[in-house]
Structure 1
Amino acid sequence: MSVEFIGYVSAREQSEIISPQGPDVDPAYIETTARLHERAGFDRALVAFHSSAPDSLLIAQHAASVTKRLSLLIAHRPGFTAPTLAARQLATLDHLSCGRVAVHIITGGNDRELKADGDHLSKAERYARTDEYLTLLRSEWTSTVPFTVKGRYYNIEDAFSEVRPFNAETIPIYFGGASEEAITVAGRHADAYALWGESLAGARELVDRVTASAARHGRKPRFSISFRPIIGATEQQAWERAHDIEAQIIARQKLTLEGSQSGLDTAGTAITGDDLPGNAGSRRLQALSSQGDRHDSRLWTGVARLTGGRWNSTSLVGTAEQVVESLLAYYRLGIGTFLIRGFDPLADAEIYGKELIPLVRERVSKEEASLSHG
């Protein structure tokens, strides 16, 4: 099984500990981040989606235009663009980038955010729509003659696209969501299933559930897991940095609660009580962090606890060698893709490229060679 690394490109510099820097859309920052990830040896970079954020497809287009090898994983929410149009947009960018496009489907678990874009469907309805949407997306990429579909959510007549994916019949579809509805749809459509950073036991459970769901359709998806690695020259230094990050987030949340926004982004907002995210992935992180901040050998859920598990917020903490060993434990579960991003986006990406990515690739290569000669 090959190993893949995915980084993170955003419209401007910001994180849980860094207030937004620069204009809302900073072309220079996008270029710097994309080129840094390419030099660091990342295979892809995720461009996220949010109802209040700059458009992910256009951010990805700019990142693709300033790189030659780096692929882009474009977060995309079904339901706000016609699936036939989205298919042509993605295929067009796939040609402009010479085959470097993948799409990450996020159906959405935050009802309040979805309503900001006019979506008032229930969760079950959203996943039913996603199922229909992805069927049409692939049809637009693969059909050699016009096709008509009359479904519950889409009524398409004589659809046909002159532009197809650059290298094959499809663009890789990554898929996120941990509810039963999500896993059912993932089994039908996902080329890669993405989960947030959980314990080994939790990750194994999700891998088994998605594998079983996909097997019913004769499919075998890849698996991706997301972490925020915190690396130090020594284990003690790594934990000191983790605790410093925790302290900075607490301080920012305190300012928010006191009514001083002073440049804080939503990542600095305290999450308590009724504000806790209710999507399945967040609930899983909430449950994990309620059991303590440390799990397995070095999984840290301190930030997930502070943010209510609102996004990929768990860390692997230690020296580069220790973090590599933890990643290999997930690799042995059948997870071959690692989405890693830091709390200091640029500096951490550079560290990952120097200390983490090459060592993981080396260790995976040795393990695979050992198995093939076993």
Structure 2
Amino acid sequence: MGERLEVIGTATVPWLPPTHDFRPHLTGLAERAERHGFTGLLVFYDHVVLDPWTVAGLLLQHTSTLVPLVALQPYALPPFTAAKTISSLTSLYRRRVDLNVITGAAPEELDQVGDPLDHDGRYARAAEYVAVLHRLLSSDEPLTWNGEHYRFRGLRVNAELPEHLRPRIFVPGSSKANRVLVDQVGHVTITHPEPVDRFAESFAAARGDRGLEMGIRVGLVARPTAEEAWAAALDGHRVNRAARLRTLLKRESESDWNRRLATLAAEADVHDDVYWTGLYSTGRTAAPLLVGSYDRVAEYLRRYVALGVTKLLLTRVDTEADFHHARAVLARVDT
């Protein structure tokens, strides 16, 4: 994919009964991603999907270079358990496991587990969590820690990893609390971007020159011509009144990027003739899609790259045809 832009896909799991055998789908997806030059796959966490660590192990088992990007929610497991799991997977497969540190954008899930922290409090906890995790992965010396959220006395988990195998920390979000977390413990800052000119004035401008890498998460619907691309994007697409209402309500979300994307969707479905909020409006994805000809989508992506984007997280790239179309765009971005 070239040296300028690292491309990471998404390990999507179909909404099927837990008795379904997910292995053929996930292993096939991982093999396709690796063959097409993707460096990793994002593995989700929420209360209803497969356990991301188990999925990460499956991806490692069936590939030779792919790096799982595992969503890590601090309330879901203690930092010493995370350290032991990361160290175990890395030691077994001699490959890095990267982390996508999430703090919770679904109020119902926070309520289910009785998490009392507010938005900024969850980000502060995440910063301390990652700091503890870093200590456990960088030294086998017993850890004594007396923080606001975690307290340990002589903790030893034997999880030390060499520096080149320690996880990169991806931090999704765009709020002020998010920026503080990224500055303290992050390596890569990620967002669902606005149209490129707004992105330049908001997210990219706020990041400035902080020595951090910057990434965006989008979907691509690209074809040789714009007409073919829009026909594919709109195939079966319906936005009813209930979906429009849900989108309007998201403008009051605690999540900064949910508010921004909901505002964009309320303004118009399409921006710049290529940036599409349609699937966000129907709840089928949390990210915008770039729709158009290979050349047009590549040109739009190059504008993000020119603003400093070095990581591209792609959603809804699953089938061989999806990877073929994505490669056609990415080859043009790298030229």
- Same fold? TM cut 0.5: yes
Q: Deviations over 1:296-318 (max 9, x none)?
A: 351111222333xx853211111
262, 267, 277: which is aligned to 1:291?
267
SS in 2 for 1:271: helix
In the alignment, residue 304 of structure 2 is paired with which amino acid? Answer: Y
Aligned residue number for residue 96 of structure 2: 100
In the alignment, residue 207 of structure 2 is paired with which amino acid? Answer: V
Q: Is the 8 A contact 1:175 1:186 kept in 2?
A: yes
Q: CA deviation at 1:3?
A: 1.3
Give runs of aligned pairs for residues 1-374 of structure 1, distance below 5 A: 2-10=4-12, 12-13=13-14, 20=16, 23=19, 26-165=22-161, 168=164, 170-204=166-200, 205-211=202-208, 215=210, 220-247=211-238, 250=239, 271=246, 277-307=253-283, 312-342=286-316, 345-352=318-325, 354-361=327-334, 363=335
Q: CA deviation at 1:21?
A: 7.9
Q: Is the 8 A contact 1:45 1:70 kept in 2?
A: yes
Q: Is the 8 A contact 2:140 2:160 kept in 1?
A: no
Q: Is the 8 A contact 2:36 2:327 kept in 1?
A: yes
Aligned residue number for residue 370 of structure 1: none
Question: CA–CA distance in 2 between the matches of 1:130 and 1:47?
Answer: 18
Q: Deviations over 1:49-81 (max 9, x none)?
A: 112221111111101100011111111111221
Q: TM-score, normalised by structure 1?
A: 0.81
Question: CA–CA distance in 1 between the matches of 2:134 and 2:125?
Answer: 14
Q: CA deviation at 1:347?
A: 4.2
Q: Deviations over 1:71-117 (max 9, x none)?
A: 11111111221112212211221222322310100111222122223
Q: Is the 8 A contact 1:79 1:133 kept in 2?
A: no
Instruction: Could you tell me which runs of 5 or more consecutive residues in structure 1 were left unpaired when the two chains were aligned.
Output: 15-19, 258-267, 364-374
Q: Is the 8 A contact 2:170 2:189 kept in 1?
A: yes
- Over 3 Å counting, the alpha-carbon distance change for 1:239 and 1:349 in structure 2 is closer
Instruction: Could you tell me which runs of 5 or more consecutive residues in structure 2 were left unpaired when the two chains were aligned.
Output: none
In the alignment, residue 206 of structure 1 is paired with which amino acid? Answer: F
Q: Is the 8 A contact 1:99 1:167 kept in 2?
A: no
- Over 3 Å counting, the alpha-carbon distance change for 1:201 and 1:245 in structure 2 is farther
SS in 2 for 1:201: helix
Question: CA–CA distance in 2 between the matches of 1:31 and 1:269?
Answer: 36
Q: CA deviation at 1:159?
A: 2.3
- Over 3 Å counting, the alpha-carbon distance change for 1:24 and 1:272 in structure 2 is farther
What is the root-mean-square deviation in Å for CA atoms of aligned residues?
Answer: 2.5
Aligned residue number for residue 371 of structure 1: none
Question: CA–CA distance in 2 between the matches of 1:59 and 1:327?
Answer: 30
In the alignment, residue 332 of structure 2 is paired with which amino acid? Answer: L
- The runs of at least 4 consecutive aligned structure 1 residues that moved more than 6 Å come to none
- Give the stretch that moved more between structures: 36-45 or 274-283: 274-283
SS in 1 for 2:234: helix
- Over 3 Å counting, the alpha-carbon distance change for 1:38 and 1:24 in structure 2 is same
Q: Deviations over 1:302-359 (max 9, x none)?
A: 222333xx853211111222211111110000001111122x7324542245423333
- Over 3 Å counting, the alpha-carbon distance change for 1:315 and 1:236 in structure 2 is same
Question: CA–CA distance in 1 between the matches of 2:197 and 2:48?
Answer: 35
Q: TM-score, normalised by structure 2?
A: 0.89
Aligned length: 331
Q: CA deviation at 1:188?
A: 1.1
Q: CA deviation at 1:246?
A: 2.4
- Over 3 Å counting, the alpha-carbon distance change for 1:185 and 1:9 in structure 2 is same
Q: Is the 8 A contact 1:40 1:349 kept in 2?
A: no
Q: Is the 8 A contact 1:4 1:338 kept in 2?
A: yes
